[in-house]
């Protein structure tokens, strides 16, 4: 069992290059703020992990585990590692740190996720991000690889079940509205018109295929950090603060599945099955089974991957909110809204809050911690005690899901 002590995230509206902030500076600032937020000292940390996708491409920088040595002299000698799984990089870093704790190697881990993406033109950023597709074999004709891939996902839903743009637009509208409640959201100050969530080309231009501007997650500079502890270390932490151990959130379940890198191979493999991405469904169910959760009714909120509205549309039925292909039902009846049956992305998600690729999985875990401890502020889900995350890399090539829960008020 692994306890989640808390953490910190940067303001996702920042543009680091314009502000003269380097990747290493942002990393160090995030970890220092995380230590302060959790009242931990650097010399208490036993191991460090970094989630990052493409620092070599965006910033010419590799070996990000070495950044820990820039944070505090106490980190000199700290065992560290960097992890890459495209948009699931942060979650894979959490998995590695959790495994070390479960194995008894270490008692307290620092896990940071970071990505700088706004220091290059948009088309260049799109090319860099395309490295998570099957290079040389798919989407060679696409100007923007990932809008094209997830437009294809929308096309697949339309073939199998039918799909209306109004439902995708409503997903975007909800996530942008949630983001206005979040003081760290990249789009919290954005202004939209009613036409922004329609198929009106001027107000909501097409990016690729059926994907329009407001269907897209953000290109973001951002970082997040969380601290994971063994039961022994968590008990010491709780005792020092005079709080019950069971008031600290725990990661009670995890799921981790991978599929072939090519999108077409995944779709061919799922032909005739209930779910478009069976490995996404398996990761979700694996996390619940390990947590002893029998069904979706036991989940209070979800932080899910919405790199595009079609991705969240897929997640809704794969999570079990509706039968396969019927995600529109949960959109129309308000189930996914704050105050609904299962609020999805109360933080604003990747569309509203922002998507610094390597940081997203860590940020999701931090938002789960905020929700179950009542610390989410204006986007708090009332009474939340158990939150599920769903983090996807590539075209659902890597999927990681966590269950975070807290027993006591």
Confidence band, pLDDT 50/70/90 cuts, at residue 407:
confident
Q: Tell me the pLDDT tens digit for each residue of 274-313.
A: 999 999 999 999 999 999 999 999 999 999 999 999 999 9
Q: Tell me, rounded to whole angstroms, the distance of Cα 144 from its chain centroid.
A: 21
For the chain, the 3-state helix, strand and coil shares in percent, each to the nearest 5, are 45, 20, 40
pLDDT exceeds cutoff 80 at 144:
yes
Q: Tell me the pLDDT tens digit for each residue of 194-225.
A: 999 999 999 999 999 999 999 999 999 999 99
For the chain, the farthest-separated pair of C-alpha atoms sits apart, in whole angstroms, at 60
- pLDDT, residue 246, reads 93
Q: What is the pLDDT averaged over residues 178-191?
A: 98
User: What does the alpha-carbon distance between residue 117 and residue 35 come to, in Å, rounded to a whole number?
Assistant: 25
In the structure encoding, which two tokens stand for residue 201, read together? 């080309």
Query: Does the predicted TM-score (pTM) go above 0.85?
Result: yes
- pLDDT, residue 409, reads 57
Mean pLDDT of the chain: 97
- 218 secondary structure, DSSP code: P
- 84 secondary structure, DSSP code: -
Do 218 and 355 contact (CB within 8 A), yes or no? yes
């Amino acid at each position: 069992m692994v306890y989640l002590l808390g953490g910190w995230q940067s303001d996702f509206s920042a543009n680091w290059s314009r502000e003269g902030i380097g990747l290493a500076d942002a990393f160090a600032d995030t970890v220092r703020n995380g230590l302060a937020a959790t009242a931990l000292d650097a010399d208490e940390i036993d191991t460090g992990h970094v989630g990052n996708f493409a620092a070599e491409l965006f910033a010419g920088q590799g070996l990000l585990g070495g950044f820990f040595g820039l944070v505090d002299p106490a980190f000199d000698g700290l065992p560290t590692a960097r992890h890459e799984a495209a948009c699931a990089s942060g979650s894979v870093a959490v998995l590695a740190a959790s495994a070390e704790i479960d194995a008894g190697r270490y008692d307290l881990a620092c896990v940071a996720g970071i990505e700088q993406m706004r220091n290059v033109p948009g088309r260049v950023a799109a090319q860099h991000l395309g490295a998570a597709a099957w290079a040389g074999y798919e989407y060679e004709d696409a100007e923007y690889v990932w809008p094209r891939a997830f437009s294809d996902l929308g096309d697949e839903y339309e073939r199998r079940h039918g799909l209306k743009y109004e439902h995708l637009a409503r997903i975007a509208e909800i996530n942008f509205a949630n983001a206005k409640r979040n003081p760290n959201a990249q789009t919290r100050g954005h202004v939209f018109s009613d036409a922004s969530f329609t198929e009106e080309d001027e107000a909501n231009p097409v990016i690729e295929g059926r994907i329009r501007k407001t269907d897209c997650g953000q290109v973001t500079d951002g970082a997040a950090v969380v601290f994971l502890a063994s039961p022994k270390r968590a008990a010491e932490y709780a005792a020092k603060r005079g709080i019950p151990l069971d008031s600290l959130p725990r990661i009670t379940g995890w799921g981790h599945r991978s599929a072939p890198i090519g999108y077409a191979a995944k779709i061919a493999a799922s032909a005739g099955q209930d779910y478009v991405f069976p490995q996404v469904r398996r990761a979700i169910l694996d996390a619940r089974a390990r947590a002893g959760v029998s069904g979706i009714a036991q989940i209070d909120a979800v932080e899910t991957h919405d790199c595009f509205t079609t991705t969240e549309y897929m997640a809704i039925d794969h999570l079990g909110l509706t039968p396969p292909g019927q995600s529109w039902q949960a959109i129309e009846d308000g189930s996914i809204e704050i105050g609904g049956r299962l609020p999805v992305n109360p933080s604003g998600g990747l569309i509203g809050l922002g998507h610094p690729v390597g940081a997203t999985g860590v940020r999701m875990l931090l938002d789960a911690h905020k929700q179950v401890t009542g610390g989410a502020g204006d986007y708090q889900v009332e009474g939340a005690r158990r939150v599920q995350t769903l983090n996807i890399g590539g075209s659902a090539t890597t999927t990681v899901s966590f269950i975070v829960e807290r027993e006591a008020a």
